[in-house]
Amino acid sequence: MVQSTRHGGVSPAPWASLNLGLHTDDAPERVRENRRRFFEALGIDPATVAGGHQVHGAEVCVVERAGQYDGYDAFVTDRPGLLLSVTVADCVPVLFYDQRTGAAGAAHAGWRGTVAGVAVATLKAMEHHFGTRPADLWVWIGVAIGFDHFEVGEEVARHFAARQGEHLLKKPAAQPGKWYVDLKAANRVQLEAAGVPPRQIEVAPWCTVAHNADFFSHRKEAGRTGRMLAVVGRRTFSREKNRS
């Protein structure tokens, strides 16, 4: 399980510098070079990576081969050597690994996806297709916008409270009609309720807004920014590599 930062790429401002988003206004050749650098640093063949253009929903794609699968916000696989990726710049990446079967999952959870239960939908897809048991899952809730920076209006707060409960909302002082939402905690609570042991869920402490020097933030940078990748999967190595 790994998530990129914004450092080490070739893109100029406002995408500076390791923009890995295929669906940004950055030059495609720069994004390709950034992806090459990122995957090379991890020892990953880009031809083994699957992902797609997410749409802030809860649809899960069962992936059997590498490539781009647009229109989904979560991906699952049990294929060794196939890596799953989601693109983020404030939304929550949720990465899953089944220590018993080797199956993996990756979800992109913005507020709409969180309300729709995309993380639990990913878990359920792994249960249905690969026999995953929640008790065998290790989950990483990655770098995303933090509680004190994700301010929303009454309409979003109502959707969120109806699905999550008001304990994950905070009303800021002197801001009528405004609330703060804790997206990371919401996904953690959902997964714990679905049976994942709390000790097997790790939550990244960094915030894309508070730590904007290191991570892209769509909100702080008014939409003109790059994207990060979060990647998970069971890598395979040849016998030749294992002997080296």
Task: List Cβ neighbours of 175 (8 Å cut-off, separation of 6 or more).
Answer: 151
The closest alpha carbon to 123, from 198, 60, 57, belongs to 60
Residue 242 pLDDT > 50: no
Name which residue leads in pLDDT, 125 or 173: 125
3-state DSSP percent of the chain in helix, strand and coil, to 5: 30, 25, 45
Residue 37 pLDDT > 60: yes
Please, what are the domains in the chain? 2-145+201-237 (3.60.140.10)
Q: Which residues pair with 141 in a beta bridge?
A: 94, 203
Give the chain's mean pLDDT.
93
- Percent of the chain whose pLDDT exceeds 70: 95
Give residue-wise pLDDT tens across range 45-90.
Answer: 999 999 999 999 999 999 999 999 999 999 999 999 999 999 999 9
pLDDT of 238 reads 42
Q: Taking residues 20-41, what's their average pLDDT?
A: 97
> Which H or E run contains 242?
helix 239-243
Residue 31 pLDDT > 60: yes
DSSP 70-132: TT-SEEEE--TT-EEEEEESSSEEEEEEETTT--EEEEEE-HHHHHHTHHHHHHHHHHHHH--
pLDDT of 172 reads 78
pLDDT of 241 reads 38
Q: How sure is the predictor about 236, in pLDDT bands with cuts at 50, 70 and 90?
A: low
pLDDT of 170 reads 85
- Percent of the chain whose pLDDT exceeds 90: 86
Residue 208 pLDDT > 80: yes
> Which H or E run contains 50?
strand 49-51
Q: Is the CB of residue 241 less than 8 Å from the CB of residue 17?
A: no
